[in-house]
Structures are given as structure tokens and as C-alpha cells.
């Protein structure tokens, strides 16, 4: 008899906790193939399936690239809440999966987890990813090169380069790229001060990847 009671007790304590929220539709959304730099949104809907009022304290994502918006925080039994997730694909390539956690007030653990997925493709590939001016010296010109490659099956035009620095001179060898073609951007940097220098400039195209931010850095030494 004691053995039976012990087994029943162990079985009872291992039962999964009852879910407090239930999705209306799916709790996983796949945006499919998107272009790097695109910002995409999806709205989920959850229902309070308990017999008590739920107080939603916050909604958090697994990375800063995903913003969330909660339609309301107090849910009576059978009430529904909408949660909008916005994913910024800048800085990502390939398949991505991000979690969205729903937290109840006074509960450190999420009571529900939503997922968004996307496959991020690049139309204009930048190689290398950064323009690096190695072993630069204050007042001395230093050169660096990067390439932009058209990874689509259509022609892409470079519309302009936005460069906010008077000591960084940029030139590009061509503005129209057929599929598979590349163009080279040459940068000549003339440091004004020593230390680790970071910055960026923007390249505008007529592709879905409308703005490409290209970062550069240099570890600059004083004159010898």
C-alpha cells in the first residue's frame, strides 16, 4: 500500500504544469526568404485559458533585433491578447530563429514562448565585411579595398555613396553590376589623431537591399 501511494505521489508531481495561454492559430511564424536589411512584422494572438485573470508584465525577445508590441496586459478568462513581433534582418545571413517570451507578473519564468523564423538572403555581398586600414600613421595616407558583388539574377545599380568624413576619400570603379559581377571601392584614409578609429559610410542601391552600411576601422599610431 505504501509503495502504491509513493508511486502515485511521484506520478502526480511530475505532471506538466497547465498552460495558461493558448495560441489562436500558430505560435511559430516563418517569414520565408527575405532580403538582408528588410524589416518584417507578424502579429500573434494568445488566449487566456485559465479561470482567473492573468496580468502580463512584459514580453521579451531573444535578441535586440526583434521588437515586440503587446496589445494589453490584463487578461480575464477567455480574453485574447495580440503580440506583434518586428524583426530587423540587418546583420544576419541564412536561417534565423528568434524566441519571444511572455512573462506573467511576479513570475520569473516565461509562461509562453513564441517563435519567428526567416531565411535572410544577400543581394549585394560585401567582401571583406569591413574596410581595414592596417598600421596607419597620423597624417599619412592609408589605402584599403572592398568589393560589392551582385548575388541576384538581375542588374543592380549603385546610386550613390554617402561619406561623412573629410579625411576618408572613396572611389568606385563602376556603378552598374550584372548578375555575378563585382565593383571595387577604394578608400584612402588620412588619420588626424592616434588610437582606435571606427566609422562607417553608406552605399545606396536600387535593389531590395537599398542601403548598405560599410564599417571601417584603423589602429592609428603617432608619427615616428
For the chain, which domains are there?
A: 18-121 (2.60.40.10), 124-221 (2.60.40.10)
Residues 171, 186: contact at Cβ < 8 Å? yes
Grid cell for residue 195: 588610437
pLDDT of residue 63: 83
Average pLDDT, the chain: 90
Pairing mode, strands 182-189 and 142-150: antiparallel
Q: What is the mean pLDDT of residues 194-201?
A: 95
What's the average model confidence in pLDDT over 109-132?
94
10 Å CB burial of residue 131 (0-12, 13-18, 19+) is buried
pLDDT exceeds cutoff 50 at 15: no
- pLDDT, tens only, 80-100: 999 999 999 888 889 999 999
Report the distance separating Cα 61 and Cα 101, nearest Å: 6
| Tens of pLDDT, residues 46-80 | 999 999 999 999 999 888 778 888 899 999 999 99
Angstrom distance (rounded) from CA 220 to CA 194: 5
Beta strand 182-189 with 168-172 is antiparallel
Q: pLDDT value at position 17? A: 57
> Taking the model in full, what pTM does it have?
0.70
138-161 pLDDT tens trace: 999 999 999 999 999 999 999 999
- Quick one: which of 119, 101, 105, 96 has its CA closest to 27? 101
Amino acid at each position: 500500500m505504501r509503495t502504491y501511494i509513493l508511486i502515485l505521489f511521484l506520478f502526480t508531481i511530475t505532471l506538466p504544469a497547465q498552460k495558461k495561454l493558448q495560441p489562436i492559430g500558430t505560435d511559430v511564424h516563418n517569414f520565408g526568404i527575405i532580403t538582408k536589411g528588410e524589416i518584417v512584422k507578424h502579429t500573434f494572438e494568445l488566449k487566456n485559458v485559465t479561470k482567473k485573470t492573468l496580468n502580463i508584465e512584459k514580453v521579451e525577445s531573444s535578441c535586440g533585433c526583434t521588437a515586440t508590441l503587446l496589445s494589453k496586459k490584463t487578461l480575464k478568462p477567455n480574453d485574447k491578447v495580440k503580440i506583434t513581433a518586428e524583426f530587423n534582418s540587418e546583420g544576419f545571413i541564412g536561417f534565423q530563429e528568434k524566441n519571444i517570451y511572455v512573462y506573467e507578473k511576479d513570475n520569473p519564468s516565461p509562461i509562453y514562448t513564441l517563435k519567428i523564423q526567416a531565411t535572410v538572403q544577400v543581394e549585394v555581398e560585401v567582401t571583406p565585411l569591413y574596410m581595414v586600414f592596417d598600421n596607419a600613421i597620423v597624417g599619412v595616407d592609408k589605402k584599403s579595398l572592398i568589393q560589392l558583388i551582385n548575388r541576384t539574377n538581375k542588374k543592380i545599380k549603385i546610386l550613390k555613396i554617402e561619406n561623412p568624413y573629410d579625411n576618408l576619400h572613396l572611389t568606385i570603379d563602376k556603378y552598374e553590376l550584372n548578375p555575378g559581377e563585382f565593383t571595387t571601392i577604394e578608400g584612402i584614409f588620412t588619420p588626424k589623431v592616434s588610437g582606435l578609429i571606427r566609422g562607417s559610410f553608406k552605399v545606396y542601391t536600387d535593389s531590395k537591399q537599398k542601403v548598405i552600411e560599410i564599417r571601417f576601422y584603423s589602429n592609428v599610431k603617432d608619427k615616428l
